[in-house]
Structure 1
Amino acid sequence: MNRIVLCLALLSLSSASARAASEADLLPVDQAYPISIDAVRTDSVRIRWGIADGYYLYKHRTAIESDNPEVTLEPLQLPAGKPYRDEFFGDVETYRKELVTTVRFSAPDGTGHLLLRLQYQGCADIGICYPPQNKRLRIPLTTTDTDGMAVLGLDAADDSTLREQDAFRVEAIVGDAGSLLLKLTPAEGYYLYRDKIAFSTSQDAIAELGKAKLPEAVWYPDPEFGTVPVYFEPAEIVLPLQRKRTKAGTLQLTVNYQGCKENGICYPPMKKTLTLGLPAGSTVSDAGAVDTKAPAMLLQWLPALLLALLGGLILNLMPCVLPVLSFKAMALAKANTPGHARSHALWYTSGVMSSFAALGIGVLALRSAGQAMGWGFQLQQPIIVGGLALLMFGIGLMMSGLFNWGSGFAGMGQSLTEKSGPTGDFFTGVLAVVVASPCTAPFMGSALAFAFTAHWLLALSVFLALGLGLALPFLLIGFLPGLAGRLPKPGAWMDTLKHWLAYPMYLTAVWLAWVFGNQKGVDGLALLLLAATMLAAALWWFERQKLNPNLRAKAIVLALGVLAAASFGAALQQAQPGATISTQGKNYEAFSPQRLAELRAQGTPVFVDMTADWCITCKVNEKAVLHTDAFTQLLREAGTVYLVGDWTNQDPAISAYLDQYDTPGVPLYVVYPNGPGEGKKLPQLLTLDIMRDALVP
């Protein structure tokens, strides 16, 4: 049983590492599911996904929306798929070989382009799934023949065709000693191929080029190469540098690119060489390990370690962690020798540190593989949320005295509350990390932002510093007899305390069940509550049958356990009800990149709030500030539009927005002025005075 409980607590960590370890076995997603446009008419477009052998697409994860405000799409009619029993989604339909669908639309006369947002997700037969895909598709609606088919062919060059230096501008500036900022701008009516953009420099240059960070492209049915990603708008690119020499000097950068005129000629491959002056900076060794002696890196790394240590220390005060720490408080109070207290502290710390290391490795591996994972990502999985709710409920029942499993908790061989041994101490550390993940303490944001962008060795050290901060109070009590001596002596009061400490467990279970309900709907919540009821009955009968053990009594316990597992499985199969943020609330609108861009173009001040149901800090800010009448009045006075993004479930658009502000998770609060200018990032803990200063000039 101890292995089952431990696996439940670490399920998200182990599954994340397994997916990242097998990334090399997958085709690139655009090769697994190439997109093409089969036909375009004045009122419809036929879209085809090719599906490679050994891969499939989910029907229920496929959707198409219009990005043209003036274009209306008819409800999407997808063909029937092949029935399939999926381990994550239950009974679904899938597509193999190809998926072809016709999108019907109505557009005003003179509409030049159809802009579609394609959403889809698929998996490989080897058992690995891609993250949800979100691509923009631009389809020209030009002239039509007598059959109504849109003409996508190329015309011959005419006098209006621009020279290549006028059609495509290439600019670059030095961002800092370790990066370049480039801007490739096609003229109106021209586009650049994303996959034809490349950068190079000479072997003896003072810096090597890292992997360029390209912005999102739009997919376009190009007559030359098929449906490919292109840029019609300026492409702003960050190009990291790995310095070979610390002294200032010049860098010769060659930019390769190719583009076309829409419905016109395509230019041959082009290149432009730029000479850039780089300031002095730190170096990277040939092996790729960061030179931590470099002053510039130390100035970022050492403060990040300190902030992580302080953030981990403050996590001990967070409401999501306090219930678990009640275990350790009772165990240390019972420690009758210094050696016993040190053992408690060391095994608990080893559980915390190993879990933070696993969490850090999992998140960093997934991010390096291109998936946007952040702090608390595992609570975006309903199986983790529901499993933790049942686990917390079961712990509460044990502390209330409903049952006593062996000599302690969950058959671990030692009691977590009475005679806790190494296994129990280690598990308590693991559980503390799992329930701490939705909490973001002060100082943690900056430390995690550094970790998610730094070299993996430095990043891992930040995660370990967080773990050390979380474990530090118990380490101090275990190794400083003076502190341990201040703890109350064991006595009858501990049984009463144990019963009282069950209630924080129940409250944590209620909160997790509420999050699960937002992920799986009211039907899913009802089934989870049914599973909790069956679990309570099974545990009660398990304790009762100890008085008269027999085969019938054990069969009843097994049957109740099976019913609990079946109810939980049924809850997981409930369809996701969609985002919990509605189109419009009391004082907010739902966030989307398009809506933000529209408001910014109009010069309207905007306040963006990225939140999640499992984020404790977010809910505190909403209750105290953001959902109050005083804040609503402040929004009216400032003429500010309030946009809310919900990250309870994985959302690529929100993940990309978080990355834009180097934020590892929610909450994130950003205020945009009434006019051009960058957004201002606000603290994670808000007050009405902070919001007034930010919104009112």
Structure 2
Amino acid sequence: MRSLLTGLTATFLLALAAGAAYAQEDGLLPVEQAFRLDAKTAGAGKLALHWDIAPDYYLYRSRIKAKTSQAGLALGTLELPAGEKKQDEFLGEVEVYHHAIDATLPYTLADAAAKSITLSLTVQGCHETDPKICYPPHPTTVTLNLGADAATAGPATSAPANPLAGGNGGGLQLGGGNAGAVDTAPLPAEQAFVFEAIAQSPTAILARWTMPKNYYLYRDKSTVTLADGGGVTLGAPQWPAGVDHTDEHFGTVKVYFDQVELPIGLLRERGEAQTVKLHAEYQGCLENGICYPVMQKDVSVDLPAATADQLAAAKASFVAPPKSVAAEATPTATATPKQDDNALRSTPPAPGLGGILGALLLALLGGLVLNLMPCVLPVLSLKVLGLAQSGESSEKARKHALVYTAGVLVAFAAIGLAVVGLRAAGQALGWGFQLQQPVFVAVLVYILFAIGLSLSGVYNIGAGLAGVGQGLSNRGGAAGDFFTGVLAVVVASPCTAPFMGSALAYAFAASSFVALLVFLALGLGLALPFLLVGFVPALAARLPRPGAWMETLKQFLAFPMYLTAVWLAWVLGNQRGIDAIGWVLIGATVLALGLWWWERHRYQGHPMQRVIAVVVVLAALLPIAQIARIEAPAARAATSDTIPYSAERLASLRAEGRSVFVDVGADWCVTCKVNEKAVLDTDAFRDLLKRSNAVLMTADWTNVDPAITAFLQDYKAVGVPLYVVFRAGEAGPGRALPTVLTQAVVEQALAPH
């Protein structure tokens, strides 16, 4: 049956490549017949789109796209109805359409004299009964005569429909592109990807994939496990470097062309000759063509007899595979990562009342220490100014402190609720994860820059309330205090203070109610100094008295805000390149213009002047939209004395008997940068690596990276930095170090035992 299906598939592909309308005995239709498109104009500035969907077929809502390259033609947001909920094998929860779908597409045309418009409509869908196949994304070029009721459809620019693009209802074309149809029909899977394995030695196996020209294999979607081991355990596979390939759905991934050989070490209980069965699962594509579903193959490997010395040497150098592979291959218990006693960062307190109280106390202390971290200090300078201004009244000092505390607690509660919600949805995100989003970083640049402009006197927050009444004036002050509390929490996210790690780890693992309590305790710790100043008269009395000096101080405090905005712009540049820095600088300049214009016409001039100011401020959002479209640049090359993190390379280095120091950080992580300056970028640390025969492996979490996220989760880390040492000769997980490093800590961690 399998060979029959393969033959039918090949025949189907040949018919599509030739451009013939074709239907198999199985009832599969060419993509144009499975999803028939009708497009027409529906009045000025709007198109009506209709797809007839054949029985037993469906379209993905999220895979319906429209674009155009016509000069002067701008397409609006495609208006689609709600679809049916479906749990998809590849895409998770999706919405799909059966039978038919009607959609509308707004557009604007700069040239009023234009006779027609041309656009490309792309859809992707599947056949949901046997044979269950999914088509690759299928673009159709459509030309519409303006004023006419019907469309003249141009030739489709997509690759031919591909039964191999997915299986079991999956809707994901995994290949790198749809630049055009392939010249010949794709090969059957067993010819496109030939898998074999041999015994390289009594304690090592060599697996090999061989592909014809233009076919490639995904590294991260290929695994080898033991189907029948008989006392044999597979070690970590030693994948070669591979080639960076930009994939439409997965970004930049590692692939292999032509041939790839994969050495795998073995741990054997017995020395006599035996046969083991390997199970391989792998996936690959034809370049600019189709992608195959996950392929599977079992092969038998005859292992020669091993001597006692060979068995002992294999045991000494054995490195277990990553947890995700090992857990599927062997039902063995997972080892717990070792922790430095000073780390207090990952393992939550023991369950029970004592554990909860301990977590809340650690959270309170962590929030208190957070006040001293460099990322929070610029915003706290605003609070210092506010408390100094209220120095003549203890009542005002208490109000400042309470409203500021409310802002802090509300912000931490919002983060706690987000964590609870994301955890319920099956996702785990660490502290500071929002700074991985370039749009969030750009908005934060605007906010800090705007605060700096206000402190510099370019415009005044709340000044328009003057003369309306004392009550409104007070309300404006309270709003400022509340906003300062929220902002303090937002800019605190790049920092991980001592005691915070354990508290956050507990929160991420505890019940929703306890998690929320932990986040509120963090907020209370952050606000505690200002609560004490507001409610302890002796402390409040030590604050300087209000006076003319405060205007000078206010203007001086603008500069920490500008410097923080510059630092965030640098972070944005590392995330999205120099173009992103250019766009955020343009946006900040436009924002400054709008705020200046508003202040200039606040009290006099035509109301239209203030409307112009608002329009200019809103125009500052356009560069953020441009930043959102910029792709992440290629990964930066590692320096000569560091190695980029990968689970395979880590396993390989450990198998070679090397000690490995793994540094997981991010450009937006202030604690990481402090540790680099104080320890990791020093000659003393580099000398220590040489003396210890150790390798520095860096994992950059500035942008979202699933592999690094998995490593953080393995060590139950709640964010970055994370430092893990794997000492030569020690099997199992590494040892996590404190978040704040010293030379003495790393000396002890890398010292030979």
Q: Please classify the TM superposition score into its range, dividing by the shorter chain length.
A: 0.5 to 0.7
3-state DSSP class of the match of 1:674?
coil
Contact 1:349 1:426 in 2 (8 A): yes
Q: Is the 8 A contact 1:587 1:627 kept in 2?
A: no
Instruction: Give the 3 Å change call, closer, same or farther, for CA 413–630 of structure 1 in structure 2.
Output: farther
Aligned partners of 2:363 and 2:522 also within 8 Å: yes
> Is 1:344 aligned to residue 432 of structure 2?
no
Answer yes or no: is the 8 Å Cα contact 1:167–1:190 preserved in 2.
no
- SS of 2:639 mapped into structure 1: coil
What do residues 508-567 of structure 1 show as CA deviations (whole Å, max 9, x unaligned)?
Answer: 101111111111110111111111111112222222223642256345424533442222
Residue 234 of structure 1 is matched in structure 2 by 330
1:332 counterpart (380, 387, 406): 387
- Contact 1:219/1:230 (CA < 8 Å) preserved in 2? no
Alignment CA distance shift 1:109-1:166 (3 Å) = closer
Determine if contact 1:608/1:670 at 8 Å carries over to the other structure: yes
Report Cα offsets for 1:236-263 as digits up to 9, x if no partner: 45699xxxxxxxxxxxxxxxxxxxxxxx
CA distance in 1, matches of 2:472, 2:194: 65
- Which residue of structure 2 lines up, in the alignment, with residue 48 of structure 1? 165
Other-structure match for 2:695: 641
- TM-score by length of structure 1 reads 0.63
| Counterpart-to-counterpart distance in 2, 1:409 and 1:613 | 40
Give the Cα–Cα distance (whole angstroms) in 1 for the partners of residues 745 and 403 of structure 2: 42
Q: CA deviation at 1:340?
A: 2.1
Q: 8 Å contact 2:195–2:297 — kept in the other structure?
A: no
- Give the match's secondary structure for 2:620: helix
Q: Residues 601 and 556 (structure 1 numbering): CA distance in 2 closer, same or farther, change over 3 Å?
A: same
Q: Is the 8 A contact 2:279 2:297 kept in 1?
A: no
Letter in 2 for 1:49: G
User: CA–CA distance in 2 between the matches of 1:328 and 1:403?
Assistant: 19
Structure 2 residue corresponding to 1:438, chosen from 494, 499, 512: 494
Matched with 1:557 is 613
Give RMSD over aligned pairs. Answer: 4.5
Give the deviation of 1:310 after TM superposition.
Answer: 0.8
**AA partner of residue 493 (structure 2):** S
- In the TM superposition, residue 504 of structure 1 has moved relative to its aligned partner by 0.9
1:475-510 deviation per Cα after TM superposition (whole angstroms, max 9, x unaligned) = 111111221111111111111110111111111101
- The secondary structure found in structure 2 opposite 1:189 is strand
Please tell me whether the aligned partners of residues 416 and 425 of structure 1 are also in contact (alpha carbons under 8 angstroms): no
Alpha-carbon separation, structure 2, partners of 1:533 and 1:369 = 39
Where in structure 2 are the equivalents of 1:293-304 lying within 5 Å?
Answer: 297-304=352-359
* 2:664 is aligned with 1:610: yes
Question: Is the 8 Å Cα contact of residues 188 and 232 (structure 1) preserved in structure 2?
Answer: no
- 1:447 corresponds to 2:522: no
Code of the residue aligned with 1:524 in structure 2: it is A
Match of 1:475 in 2: 531
Cα deviation digits, residues 170-207 of structure 1 (max 9, x gap): xxxxxxxxxxxxxxx9x9425599xxxxxxxxxxxxxx
Amino acid across the alignment from 1:308? A
Q: State TM-score, norm by structure 2.
A: 0.59
Question: Is residue 439 of structure 2 the alignment partner of residue 401 of structure 1?
Answer: no
Mapped contact 2:133–2:168 kept (Cα < 8 A):
no
Q: Provide the identity percentage.
A: 46
Task: Work out whether 1:597 is the aligned partner of 2:654.
Answer: no
8 Å Cα contact 1:521/1:577 also seen in 2: yes
Q: Does 1:675 align with 2:729?
A: yes
User: How far apart in 2 are the matches of 1:426 and 1:458?
Assistant: 25
- Determine the C-alpha separation between the residues in 2 that align with 1:115 and 1:614: 42
Moved more, 588-597 or 102-111: 102-111
User: In structure 1, how many angstroms separate the alpha carbons of the residues matched to 2:334 and 2:294?
Assistant: 21
The letter of the residue matching 1:639 is N
Q: CA deviation at 1:363?
A: 1.7
Match of 1:136?
221
The structure with more radius of gyration: 2
Structure 1 residues 80 and 548 mapped into 2: Cα distance closer, same or farther (>3 Å)?
farther
User: CA 1:462/1:546 → structure 2, altered by over 3 Å: closer, same or farther?
Assistant: closer
Change (3 A) 1:386 1:543: same
Task: Pick closer, same or farther for the CA change 1:558–1:422 going to 2, 3 Å.
Answer: closer
- Contact 1:588-1:641 within 8 A present in 2 as well: yes
Larger mean Cα displacement after TM superposition, 655-664 or 548-557: 548-557
Is 1:689–2:749 an aligned residue pair?
A: no
Residue 585 (structure 2) aligned to one of 529, 536, 551: 529
Question: Cα distance, 1:443 vs. partner?
Answer: 1.1
Q: Which amino acid aligns with 1:645?
A: A
Q: Does 1:353 align with 2:409?
A: yes
Instruction: Tell me, yes or no, if the aligned pair for 1:37 and 1:221 is still in contact at 8 Å.
Output: no
Q: CA deviation at 1:583?
A: 4.0
Residue 77 of structure 1, CA deviation: 4.5
CA 1:104–1:78 in structure 2 vs 1: closer, same or farther (change >3 Å)?
A: farther
The one-letter amino acid of 2:713's match is D
2:748 equivalent to 1:652: no
The question of whether the paired residues in 2 share the 8 Å contact of 1:36 and 1:221 is answered with no
Cα distance in 1 for residues equivalent to 2:668 and 2:657 = 33
Cα pair 2:134 2:169 within 8 Å, conserved: no
Tell whether 2:319 aligns with 1:319: no
- C-alpha separation in 1, matches of 2:521 and 2:512: 14
Offset at residue 423 of structure 1 (A): 2.4
Q: Tell me how far apart the structure 1 counterparts of residues 726 and 134 of structure 2 sit (CA, whole Å).
A: 38
Query: What is the aligned partner in structure 2 of residue 666 from structure 1?
Result: 720
Q: What secondary structure sits across from 2:87 in the alignment?
A: coil
- Going from structure 1 to structure 2, the CA distance change for 1:422 and 1:561 (only over 3 Å counts) comes to closer
Deviation (angstroms), 1:442: 1.1
Distance 1:413 1:325 in 2: 29
Is the CA contact 1:331–1:420 (under 8 Å) kept in the aligned structure 2? no
What amino acid does structure 2 have at the position aligned with 1:514? W
Residues in 1 aligned to 2:410 and 2:611: alpha-carbon distance in whole angstroms: 38
Q: Is the 1:414–1:423 contact (alpha carbons within 8 Å) kept by the matching residues of 2?
A: no
Counterpart position of 2:477 = 421
Please tell me whether the aligned partners of residues 665 and 699 of structure 2 are also in contact (alpha carbons under 8 angstroms). yes
Give the letter aligned to residue 372 of structure 1: A
The 10-residue stretch of structure 1 (317-326 or 430-439) with the greater mean CA deviation from structure 2 = 317-326
Q: Give 2:296's aligned amino acid.
A: P
2:362 to 293, 307, 314: 307
Tell me if structure 1 keeps the 8 A contact 2:362–2:500.
yes
Which amino acid in the other structure matches residue 610 of structure 1? V
Contact 1:592–1:653 under 8 Å retained in 2: yes
Structure 2 match to 1:373: 429
> Per-residue CA shift, 1:96-153, capped at 9, x if unaligned?
xxxx99997899997745499xxxxxxxxxxxxxxxx99623489xxxxxxxxxxxxx
> 1:221: Cα distance to partner?
3.0
Cα offset, 1:379, TM superposition? 0.7
Alignment of 1:82-481 (within 5 A): 112-114=207-209, 136-138=221-223, 188-190=276-278, 221=296, 233-236=329-332, 297-335=352-390, 336-407=392-463, 421-481=477-537
| 1-structure distance, mates of 2:507, 2:526 | 17
Q: Which secondary structure does the structure 2 equivalent of 1:452 belong to?
A: helix
8 A Cα contact 1:31 1:52, kept in partner: no
State the alpha-carbon separation in 1 of the partners of residues 189 and 383 from structure 2.
Answer: 58
1:501 matched residue in structure 2:
557
Report which stretch shifted further, 506-515 or 329-338.
Answer: 329-338
Q: Give 1:429 deviation, angstroms.
A: 1.3
* Distance of 1:638 and 1:46 partners within structure 2: 54
**AA aligned opposite 1:385:** V
Match status 1:27 vs 2:27: no
The 2-side partners of 1:393 and 1:101 are apart by 57
| Other structure's SS at 2:383 match | helix
1:605·1:673 contact (CA, 8 Å) conserved in 2? yes
Give deviations 1:41-93, integer Å, cap 9, x for gaps: xxxx996235969xx76x8xx67xxxxxxxxxxxx444579xxxxxxxxxxxx
Q: Are the structure 2 counterparts of residues 309 and 28 from structure 1 closer, same or farther at C-alpha, using a change threshold of 3 Å?
A: farther
8 Å contact kept, 2:678–2:742: yes
Structure 1: how far apart are the matches of 2:421 and 2:561? 32
